[in-house]
Structure 1
Amino acid sequence: MASFGVGEIAFQLHNMGMSLLLLFYYQQVIGLSGTLTGAALMMSMVVDAITDPLIGGWSDRFKSRFGRRHPFILASSVPLAISFVLLFSPPESFGDTGNFIWLAVFSVLVKLSVTFYYVPHMALGAEMAQDYNQRSTLFAFNGLIGATTAATTHFLIYMFVFPTTETFDPGMLDPDGYPRFAWGSAIIITAALAFTVWGTRREIPYLRNTEADSRLSFGEIFSDMVAMFKNRNFFILFIATFLIGIHGGVQEVFQIYLVLHFWEFKTEEYGWLGPLMLTAFLLAFLITPSLTKRFDKKRTLVFATSIQVFIPSVMVGLRLLEVPWFPANDSDWILILFFATTYVQMMCNPVAGATIFSMFADIADEHELHSGKRREGAVYAARAFSSKALAGVGTMIGGVLLDVIQFPSNADAGSVSAEIVWRLGFIAGPAISMIALLGIGLFFYHNLNRSRHAEISRQLAERKSRHHMA
C-alpha cells in the first residue's frame, strides 16, 4: 500500500507546478498575457483528450513479464522530469511568440508523460484492491500521501523558494525560484516512480491478466470509451467531477492572487498553512474509510465536496459585502480565520478524492459484469482526463478572466486598484461556485451503492468459478 501511494508524489509535484505556479510565472514574471498562457495550456488538454484513452487501452492490453502497468510507470519517469524542468526554464528575451510556443510544447510533453504514468498507476490500484471497503482504504492512503506532498511542498515553496525580500514583494515575482522548484521536483518525481515500480513488483503475479484475444487498435480503444460512457454511473461521475474540476482549476489559478492581493498576506504567512494542512490530511485519512462504511460513498462525497467548494466562498463573500464585524486585512484575526476555513476545506479534499477514486474502481467491476472485460485503464483514462481537464480548462478560463479584469503583470504588493481586487474576489468566490453546484447535484443520481456492488461481486465470483470448472 505504501509503495503504491508513493507514486502519488509525482502527480502532486507536477500538479503543484502546473496549476499553482505556471500561470502566475508566465503571466506575472515572464509577462505573457493570461489569455495566451491559458491558450497554450489548453493545448495540453487537447493532447490529454487523445492520449488518455490510448494509454489506458494500451495498458489494459499490454503483455509482459513485468505486468500490464509497471512498464508504463517506469518509462514515464525520465521524460516527465526533463520536460518539467524545461517548462520552467524558457530562454531569456524570447518574446511573446517564443514564450507561447515554448509553454505550449513543454506543457504538452509534461501532460503526455504524466498520462503514461498516471492512468496505469490508478488502474494498478483498482487491480490491487478488489474489495469495496479495501479500495476506500487504499485510495485514502494514496490521497494521504498526495495531500502530505502538497502540504509539504506548499510550506517549502512559500517559506524558502519564494521568500519576501526588498527586491521582490511578493516573493513570487523572483524569477530564479521557478527553475529551483522544477529541478527539485524532477529529482523527487524520478525517485518516487522508481520506488513505486520496485515496491509493487511482488503484486504482479496476482494481478489480472490481459484477455487472450485482446489486441490494441484505435477502434477497440474507441469502443472501450464509448462503452464506458454508456455506463450510467460512469457518465454521471465523469460530468460531475468535470464541472467541479473546472471550479477547482479556476480557484487554483486565482488562489495566489487572492492571497497576495485580496487578503494581502506575505508569502511567509501563507507558507505556514502547509504544516497545518498536514494534520487535516492525516485526520481525513483516518476518517475516510469509516465515513464510507457508515454513510456510503455517495453521501460522503456529497458532504465533503459541498464543504470543499463553499467554505472558501463564504469568507470572500463577507469581505465583498463589507460586513461590519468581519476583520480587516490588517487584523491578526483575518489570518486565523483564513487558516481555519482552509483547514476544514483541506480536510475534505482527500476525503472527496479517495471516495471518487474508489467509486470509479467499483464501476470497473460493474463494467466487467456487463461486458465480460476488465477495463480499469479505460475507466481511469477517462477519470484522468477529467482530472487534468480541470487544470487545463480551469487554467485557460482563469487566464482569460485575469485579462478581462485587467490584472497587471509584475504587480507589487499594494499596487493593484481596489476595483480590480473586488472583481478578483467576486469571480474566485461566489461566481465560479455556481458551476460546482451543478456537479454536486449530479452526484445524487449515482446508484452504485454497497449492496449493489456486493451483488456484482457475487455474480463475478460465480462467473469466474464456472469458467474454472469449464
Structure 2
Amino acid sequence: MELPPIGLGTRISYGIGAVAAGLKGAVFNTFLIFYYNQVVGIPAGVVSVAIALTLVVDAVADPLIGRWSDVTKSRWGRRHPFMYGSVIPVALFFTLAWFPPSGLSNFMLGLWVFATAALTRTSLSAFEIAGNAMVPELTDDYRERSRLFSLRYMFGYVGAYGFSAVALATFFRATPTFPRTGQLNPAAYPPFVLTAAAVMIAVILISAIGTHSRIPMLRQSFTVSGGGLLSHVREMLGSFSNRAFLAIFGFGVFKYSAIGLYSGINIFFGTYLWKFGAGQLSILTLGGVAAAVVAWPLAPIAANRFGKRTSAMVFAILGVAWGLTPLVLSLNGWFLLPGDPRLLPTLLFIDVTYGAMVAISLINTSAMIADVVEDSAVRTGRRDSGTFFAASSFMQQCSTAVGILATGVILTLSHFPAKPAPGTVTDEMVRSLMLHYIPASMGLWTVGALILCFYPISRQKHQDNLDILRAREAEAVSREQVNLPLGGPMR
C-alpha cells in the first residue's frame, strides 16, 4: 500500500512523545543519584548499584514488550494499546521513586529505588518501544526516517535539557538557606517531581492521540507460527542474530554507558568544579536544547551526504573529544577559572556544539535500526520492528544504568563524601573525578564507534531490500487474486 504523506500535526505529535523519555532520563540520571547522595545522605554506591540492577528487569521485560507489541491484534493496531496503557504506570512509579517510606535503612532505601526505578522504566518502555517501532511502518524512505527520528530526538532533548533548565531556574532557585546551591534544597524536590510526572502524562497522551489516525495505515500483526513460548524465543533470537543489528547494539552498549556516566557526573562538575549556582546551571543546561535544534535539520543532511553509519561514527568521536576539552585543559591549569565572566558563555558554546554532534550520531543510529527491519525481513519474512526497538530500548536503558553505576564507582574512588558540609569537597577530590572520568568517557565512545564499522547496510542496500520485499508482496497479492472465486472480495 502506498502510504499517504505524514502531516505536520502527526509529525509533531509523534515527536513530542520523546519528551517523556528525555525528561525521565535527565531527572533519573542527573538528579536521582544527586538527591539521594547529596541531599538525603545515602552513599553513592548504594543508589548507583540499585539503579544499575534494574538492567535485570530490563533484560526480561523489554524483549517481551517488543514481541508482545509485534504480535498484538486489536482495533487500535499493535502499537497504540501500549502507548495508551503506559500513561498512569509511568507517572505513578516515577513519583514513588522520590517518596520512600520514612525510617528505612540505607539498604532498604536502595531496594525502594531499585523497585520503583525498574517499574518506571518498564512502564516507559511500553510507550517508547511501541512509538519507535512505528517509524518503519510510517515510512520506508531512507531519508524520511532520519527526519522523523531527528524530530523525535529534538523533542527528547527538549524534555531532558529544557525541563532540567526550567527546574534549575524555578524549583531550585536560590533561597536564604541555600543562597547558591538550590539543588541541595530538600523542599524543592516534591514540586519538581510532581510537575515532571504531569508533563509525562501530557506528552504521552498527545503522542498517542495525535498518531491515532494513522492506525489503519500501519502494518498489522503477522501470523504467528505455532510452538508457543519456544517459538517466540527462536524467532526473537533469529532477529537478533542480524549482523547489522549486532553492530548497532554493540555501539549502543558503549555509547549509552558513556551517556549515563556523563548524565550522572556532570552536575558534580557544575557544582564543585565550575562552582555554578542553580541559575548558571540552568543556562548551561539550555545548551542541550540548542544542540537539539542545531542537530534537527543537520542529521538528515549528514545521513544523505555521508551515509548513516559514517555520520554516526565521525560525529560521535569528534563531538566527545571536543566536549572533554574543558576538563582536559582544567587538569593542566589552562582553562578559565570559576568566577571568570567568560566561563559560562565559553562552556555554553562548547556544550551546544558538542551536544549537536553527539545528537547527529544518535539520530542516525536510530534511523539505522529502522533500516534493519527490512534487512531482517528479507531473511526471515517478518517485520519485527517492535522486537528490534525493544532490544534497542533494553540496550539503552541497561547501558545507561551501567553508566550510572560507573558514576558511583568514580565518586567512591574520588572519595566524594555523602551530604557534605560546606568546604569538605576538596580540589583534590574534583581533580580525581576528572582523572577518572575523561579516559572512561573517551574510551567508551571510541570502542563503540569502532564496533559500528561492521554495520553493512548502505543506502543502496536498503533500496535493494525494499525492492525485494515489494516484489514478494506483489507476488503474494497476485496469488491471492488468482485463488479468489469469481466475483469474490479482495482481502
Could you say what secondary structure the match of 2:100 adopts? coil
Q: 1:149 aligns with which of 149, 155, 159?
A: 159
Could you say what secondary structure the match of 1:161 adopts? coil
Instruction: Give the distance between the partners of 1:159 and 1:315, measured in 2 at CA.
Output: 24
Q: 2:67 aligns with which of 52, 57, 60?
A: 57
Residue 391, structure 1, aligned to residue 400, structure 2: yes
* Aligned-residue CA RMSD (Å): 1.7
Conserved 8 A contact 2:284-2:347: no
Change (3 A) 1:134 1:409: same
Shift of 1:222: 2.2
Shift of 1:263: 1.6
Shift of 1:424: 0.8
Change (3 A) 1:117 1:217: farther
Change (3 A) 1:80 1:216: farther
Match of residue 36 from structure 2: 26
Instruction: Give the distance between the partners of 1:179 and 1:166, measured in 2 at CA.
Output: 19
Q: How does 1:186-205 map to 2 (within 5 A)?
A: 186-205=197-216
Q: How does 1:204-215 map to 2 (within 5 A)?
A: 204-214=215-225
Instruction: Give the distance between the partners of 1:261 and 1:217, measured in 2 at CA.
Output: 55
Conserved 8 A contact 1:53-1:221: no
Q: 2:194 aligns with which of 183, 187, 190?
A: 183
Shift of 1:350: 2.6
Conserved 8 A contact 2:38-2:418: yes
Match of residue 404 from structure 1: 413
Conserved 8 A contact 1:57-1:216: no
Shift of 1:361: 0.3
Residue 292, structure 1, aligned to residue 303, structure 2: yes
Conserved 8 A contact 1:224-1:378: no
Match of residue 344 from structure 1: 353
Match of residue 426 from structure 1: 435
Match of residue 135 from structure 2: 125
Instruction: Give the distance between the partners of 1:207 and 1:334, measured in 2 at CA.
Output: 50
The range that moved more, 336-345 or 87-96, is 87-96
Instruction: Give the distance between the partners of 1:276 and 1:422, measured in 2 at CA.
Output: 24
Instruction: Give the distance between the partners of 2:223 and 2:235, measured in 1 at CA.
Output: 17
Residue 313, structure 1, aligned to residue 313, structure 2: no
Gaps of 5+ in 2: 1-10, 480-491
Instruction: Give the distance between the partners of 1:176 and 1:95, measured in 2 at CA.
Output: 21
Match of residue 464 from structure 1: 473
The range that moved more, 313-322 or 208-217, is 208-217
Could you say what secondary structure the match of 1:330 adopts? coil
Instruction: Give the distance between the partners of 2:193 and 2:247, measured in 1 at CA.
Output: 36
Alignment identity in percent?
Answer: 26
Conserved 8 A contact 2:369-2:388: yes
Residue 110, structure 1, aligned to residue 108, structure 2: no
Q: How does 1:137-286 map to 2 (within 5 A)?
A: 137-168=147-178, 169-214=180-225, 217-286=228-297
Deviations along 1:211-249, one digit per CA (max 9) or x if unpaired, are 123569432332233223321111111011111111111
Match of residue 441 from structure 1: 450
Match of residue 482 from structure 2: none
Give 1 or 2 for the bigger CA radius of gyration. 2
The range that moved more, 203-212 or 274-283, is 274-283
Residue 369, structure 1, aligned to residue 356, structure 2: no
Conserved 8 A contact 1:54-1:218: no
Shift of 1:276: 4.3
Instruction: Give the distance between the partners of 1:189 and 1:48, measured in 2 at CA.
Output: 20
Q: 2:101 aligns with which of 84, 91, 98?
A: 91
Conserved 8 A contact 1:60-1:376: yes
Match of residue 484 from structure 2: none
Gaps of 5+ in 1: none
1:454 maps to amino acid: Q
Instruction: Give the distance between the partners of 1:216 and 1:104, measured in 2 at CA.
Output: 35
TM score, norm. by length of structure 1: 0.96
Deviations along 1:408-440, one digit per CA (max 9) or x if unpaired, are 122356431121110111222233311221111
Residue 71, structure 1, aligned to residue 98, structure 2: no
Residue 331, structure 1, aligned to residue 337, structure 2: no
Instruction: Give the distance between the partners of 2:326 and 2:227, measured in 1 at CA.
Output: 51
Conserved 8 A contact 1:56-1:381: yes
1:56 maps to amino acid: G
Conserved 8 A contact 1:316-1:429: yes
1:242 maps to amino acid: V
Shift of 1:69: 0.5
Change (3 A) 1:280 1:247: closer
Instruction: Give the distance between the partners of 1:332 and 1:316, measured in 2 at CA.
Output: 18
Instruction: Give the distance between the partners of 2:435 and 2:199, measured in 1 at CA.
Output: 37
Could you say what secondary structure the match of 2:170 adopts? helix
The range that moved more, 183-192 or 458-467, is 183-192
Conserved 8 A contact 2:410-2:437: no
Residue 3, structure 1, aligned to residue 13, structure 2: yes
Could you say what secondary structure the match of 2:324 adopts? helix
Instruction: Give the distance between the partners of 1:386 and 1:179, measured in 2 at CA.
Output: 30
2:273 maps to amino acid: F
Shift of 1:387: 0.9
Instruction: Give the distance between the partners of 1:432 and 1:287, measured in 2 at CA.
Output: 25
2:302 maps to amino acid: L
Deviations along 1:387-406, one digit per CA (max 9) or x if unpaired, are 11122111112112212221
Could you say what secondary structure the match of 2:307 adopts? helix
